Homo-oligomer: A and B are copies of this chain.
Amino acid sequence: LSLTKLMVGSEGTLGVVTEATLRLLPPQPPRSTVVAVFPTSGGATDAVIAITNVMRPAMLEYMDAVAINAVEDWIRMGLDRTAAAMLIAQSDAEDTAVERELEVMRAACEACGAAEIFSTTDREEGELFVGARRAAIPAMERRGRLLLEDVGVPLPHLPALVEGVSRIGQEYGVEIAMIAHAGDGNTHPLLVYEPSDPTKSAATLAAFGEIMDLAIALDGTITGEHGVGRLKRPWLRDQVGDEVLEITRRVKLAFDPHGILNPGVIL
């Protein structure tokens, strides 16, 4: 039985890792970058699907207007504040193949209505835009406490998830920035949280729950990469169902009969 992934995803509930052997891979080739801004978020998510239908980009990241403006407020790098969404895509193809991959990505963005498309084979120039994406979380942290979501869906449902999260934000009056590892269908809505205001806190938690409900309704997951922990525990049953939850409980018992390993997490 392959226990590795079971242990890796167990959030400390099945054991303690005391030793790990890694297989190293050769270094990756340098990357080239396409950046595109869109007048609508749907155009950007359509472009994600158009790109991933024909190739596997080395990186394909999404930022919405809230995230773009938060980054621009913080580090002023000249991002387009009027854009609804921005994609940062990278290719690790080599030599002349890179130009063809960049062209595939540019063409997909253009066909999906991008307002502006920029591409570069210069590594450092590309890193500036990757840096903008990386700055999104610290930039949003300057606007308040963050509740960081981690919901993923099969790629065809990405547009519905992104649109739905925005609608949920409006309904509950919660500021949400949407950033995503879009090429994987894995999104991180960042909900701005106000711990001192009980009404707004409740609205934020309600929106947080609605987003998980939406991901589950779209055949997705409440935890793309971060885990269930304590906060998302109440939604796990809706995602996996009673039977899987019961098996999960029995697997936990098999590893940890006395319940001493990270109690209260996941189950």
Verify B254–A3 contact, CB threshold 8 A.
Answer: no
Copies of this chain in its oligomeric complex: 2
Query: Is there a chain B Cβ closer than 8 Å to A93's Cβ?
Result: yes
A1 to chain B, nearest CB (A): 5
Those of A16-43 within 8 Å (CB) of chain B: 21, 23, 25-26
Count of interface residues, chain A, beta-carbon cutoff 8 Å: 38
Q: Could you say which of B8, B26, B95, B96 contacts A54, with CB atoms under 8 Å apart?
A: B26
A182 to chain B, nearest CB (A): 15
Verify B95–A25 contact, CB threshold 8 A.
Answer: no
Verify B5–A2 contact, CB threshold 8 A.
Answer: yes
Query: Is there a chain B Cβ closer than 8 Å to A247's Cβ?
Result: yes
Query: Is there a chain B Cβ closer than 8 Å to A154's Cβ?
Result: yes
Q: Which residues of B lie under 8 Å from residue A253 when comparing CB positions?
A: 254
A79 to chain B, nearest CB (A): 30
Query: Is there a chain B Cβ closer than 8 Å to A248's Cβ?
Result: yes
A250 vs B257: C-alpha distance in the bound complex, in angstroms?
Answer: 10
Query: Is there a chain B Cβ closer than 8 Å to A47's Cβ?
Result: no
A36 vs B201: C-alpha distance in the bound complex, in angstroms?
Answer: 66
A25 to chain B, nearest CB (A): 7
Q: Could you say which of B56, B247, B255 contacts A3, with CB atoms under 8 Å apart?
A: B247
Query: Is there a chain B Cβ closer than 8 Å to A100's Cβ?
Result: yes
Query: Is there a chain B Cβ closer than 8 Å to A260's Cβ?
Result: no
A96 vs B94: C-alpha distance in the bound complex, in angstroms?
Answer: 8
Query: Is there a chain B Cβ closer than 8 Å to A234's Cβ?
Result: no
Verify A4–B5 contact, CB threshold 8 A.
Answer: yes
A5 vs B254: C-alpha distance in the bound complex, in angstroms?
Answer: 17
A40 vs B56: C-alpha distance in the bound complex, in angstroms?
Answer: 39
Those of A240-256 within 8 Å (CB) of chain B: 244, 247-248, 250-255
Write the A96-136 contact mask toward B (1 if CB under 8 angstroms, else 0): 11101000000000000000000000000000000000000
Q: Beyond A1-B6, A1-B14, A8-B2, is A56–B96 a contact (Cβ under 8 Å)?
A: no
B-contacting residues of A (Cβ < 8 Å)?
1-6, 8-10, 13-14, 21, 23, 25-26, 52-56, 93-98, 100, 154, 244, 247-248, 250-255, 266
Q: Which 10 A-B pairs have the closest CB atoms?
A: A250-B254, A2-B9, A94-B97, A5-B5, A95-B96, A95-B97, A96-B96, A97-B97, A254-B254, A2-B5
